[in-house]
């Protein structure tokens, strides 16, 4: 009875530790987040590929290794060049994942809509119609709320962009009504995506243009200590530093930001699955060298989920903390040369997101009678 409970505890503990990373980061800064993230990568890989003959005591071994890592392993064990490289990888992959997550979210909803249409054709019950109307109404209610918030708090440039986006959304609705294959849920969610991106842009520019004051603990923490010792350092911090750190943490705990965490995780796992199907499953040379069943288990394994969660949490937290310090993509080289001429209330990557999600909706609407037009966006439900 004890062994299954211990096994569950060992499986859950790494996720709990990952969730504490924003707490440590709000008190000690981005450098600590990156170092801890790399240590969690190493822990996940070591526990996954440990010696097979130790499998019968593996729960105890994993737990012991995690405890030793937290209590005794110094944070500065991770070399700075690796931390720098990891930070740049997160920065480079962010634009691609931003585009992917908005497209894949709409792709998921459109596949669900297709399933609902099939159910409505098979069943005359009004349940599916009620669900369709309810989901569409929810999308429009959230869209109206976000639009009103942008109107009240946004800048002139953002309100002008809101007007353009609303016109674009009306155009999408007109195309939906003209198309025989159009479905209300799809265009409602597409509208919500466009306005949500604009709302995210408003929040980001507000953080960048009004940065938070950095706690002194960001510069004073000792990287030679372990996470356990740094935890005591955080508990002994002054009320002023704790208050400043709490402001960083509250930015992370916003409901809108937590939803984006889930969307980003889904996007990463979806991309991993499609890359496997495209380049591994269909490649005979790879399948001859490795066992197909083992490869299939690898990308569906808890290890893949753990690594994806660590990557997602680290990337989203680091980007958020950069924004709260007033640092954006435009602040980095080579964009520093155009930063003086670029509107400070507009995020170029968010504008690209809005354009891409609407183009994707039009594309999907055009191919609505043939849902096998692309293997990358085929259903995985």
Query: Is 180 within the bounds of a domain?
Result: yes
* Separation in Å, CA 368 to CA 1, 116, 362, 374: 52, 14, 10, 12
Domain holding 170, by residue range, is: 79-211+326-381
pLDDT digits (tens, 9 = 90+) for 310-353: 999 899 999 988 888 877 765 555 555 566 667 778 888 899 99
In this prediction, residue 374 has a pLDDT band, given cuts at 50, 70 and 90, of: low
Let me know if residue 157 belongs to a domain.
Answer: yes
Q: Is residue 379 part of a domain?
A: yes
8 found inside a domain = no
Token pair of 203 as six digits: 């929040």
**Structural domain count of the chain:** 1
Q: How far apart are CA 221 and CA 234, in angstroms?
A: 9
Q: Give me the helix-helix angle, 80-122 and 184-209, nearest 10°.
A: 160
Q: Is the separation of the CB atoms in 188 and 135 below 8 Å?
A: yes
Whether residue 378 is contained in a domain is answered as yes
Residue 130 included in any domain = yes
Question: Which tokens in the block code for residue 346?
Answer: 């507009």
Residue pLDDT, tens place only, 98-112: 999 999 999 999 888
Let me know if residue 288 belongs to a domain: no
The confidence score (pLDDT) of residue 295 equals 47
Instruction: Using the predicted structure, report yes or no on whether residue 260 has a pLDDT greater than 60.
Output: yes
pLDDT, residue 51, reads 58
DSSP 197: H
């Amino acid at each position: 009875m004890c062994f299954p409970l211990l096994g569950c505890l060992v499986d859950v503990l790494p996720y709990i530790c990952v969730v504490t990373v924003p707490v440590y980061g709000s008190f000690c800064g981005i450098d600590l987040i990156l170092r801890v993230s790399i240590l969690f990568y190493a822990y996940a890989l070591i526990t996954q590929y440990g010696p097979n003959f130790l499998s019968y005591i593996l729960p105890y071994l994993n737990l012991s290794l995690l405890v030793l890592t937290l209590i005794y392993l110094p944070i500065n064990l991770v070399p700075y060049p690796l931390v720098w490289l990891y930070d740049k990888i997160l920065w480079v992959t962010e634009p691609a994942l931003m585009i992917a997550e908005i497209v894949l979210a709409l792709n998921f909803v459109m596949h669900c809509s297709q399933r609902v249409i099939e159910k409505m054709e098979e069943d005359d019950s009004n349940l599916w119609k009620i669900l369709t109307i309810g989901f569409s109404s929810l999308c429009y209610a959230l869209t109206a709320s976000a639009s009103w918030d942008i109107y009240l708090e946004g800048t002139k440039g953002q309100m002008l962009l809101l007007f353009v986006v609303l016109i674009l959304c009306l155009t999408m609705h007109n195309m939906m009504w003209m198309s025989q294959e159009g479905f209300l849920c799809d265009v409602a969610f597409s509208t919500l995506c466009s306005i949500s991106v604009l709302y995210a842009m408003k929040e980001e520019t507000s953080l960048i243009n009004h940065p938070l004051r950095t706690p002194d603990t960001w510069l004073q923490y000792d990287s030679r200590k372990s996470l356990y010792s740094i935890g005591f350092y955080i508990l002994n911090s002054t009320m002023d530093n704790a208050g400043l750190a709490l402001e960083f943490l509250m930015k992370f705990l916003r409901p809108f930001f937590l939803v984006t965490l889930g969307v980003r995780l889904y996007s990463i796992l979806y991309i991993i699955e499609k890359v496997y199907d495209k380049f591994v499953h269909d490649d005979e040379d790879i399948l001859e060298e490795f066992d197909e069943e083992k490869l299939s288990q690898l990308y569906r394994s808890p290890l893949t989920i753990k690594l994806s969660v660590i990557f997602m949490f680290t990337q989203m937290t680091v980007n958020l903390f950069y924004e709260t310090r007033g640092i954006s993509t435009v602040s980095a080289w080579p964009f520093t040369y155009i930063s003086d001429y670029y509107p400070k209330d507009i995020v170029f990557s968010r504008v690209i997101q809005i354009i891409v999600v609407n183009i994707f909706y039009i594309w999907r609407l055009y191919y609505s009678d043939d849902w096998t037009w692309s293997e990358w966006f085929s259903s995985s439900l």
